[in-house]
A and B are shown apart, each in its own frame.
Chain A
Amino acid sequence: SQKIEQNSEALNIQEGKTATLTCNYTNYSPAYLQWYRQDPGRGPVFLLLIRENEKEKRKERLKVTFDTTLKQSLFHITASQPADSATYLCALGRGYSTLTFGKGTMLLVSP
Chain B
Amino acid sequence: SAVISQKPSRDICQRGTSLTIQCQVDSQVTMMFWYRQQPGQSLTLIATANQGSEATYESGFVIDKFPISRPNLTFSTLTVSNMSPEDSSIYLCSVGDTGWNEQFFGPGTRLTVL
Chain A residues within CB distance 8 Å of chain B: 4, 32, 34, 41-46, 49, 89, 93, 96, 98-104
Which of B4, B92, B101, B104 neighbours the largest number of chain A CB atoms within 10 Å of its CB? B101
Closest to A8 in B: B40
Question: Are A43 and B33 touching (Cβ within 8 A)?
Answer: no
Chain A residues within an 8 Å CB radius of B48: 98
**B113, CB-defined interface residue at 8 Å:** no
Question: Are B42 and A43 touching (Cβ within 8 A)?
Answer: no
Sample (10) of A-B pairs whose CB atoms are under 8 Å apart: A41-B108, A41-B110, A42-B108, A43-B4, A43-B105, A93-B101, A96-B31, A99-B45, A101-B42, A102-B42
Question: Are A104 and B42 touching (Cβ within 8 A)?
Answer: yes
CB distance from A51 to the nearest CB of B (A): 9
CB distance from B70 to the nearest CB of A (A): 16
CB distance from A52 to the nearest CB of B (A): 12
How many angstroms from the CA of A32 to the CA of B41 in the assembled complex? 22
Question: Are A34 and B94 touching (Cβ within 8 A)?
Answer: no
Given A89-B43, A96-B31, the answer on whether A43 and B102 have CB atoms closer than 8 Å is: no
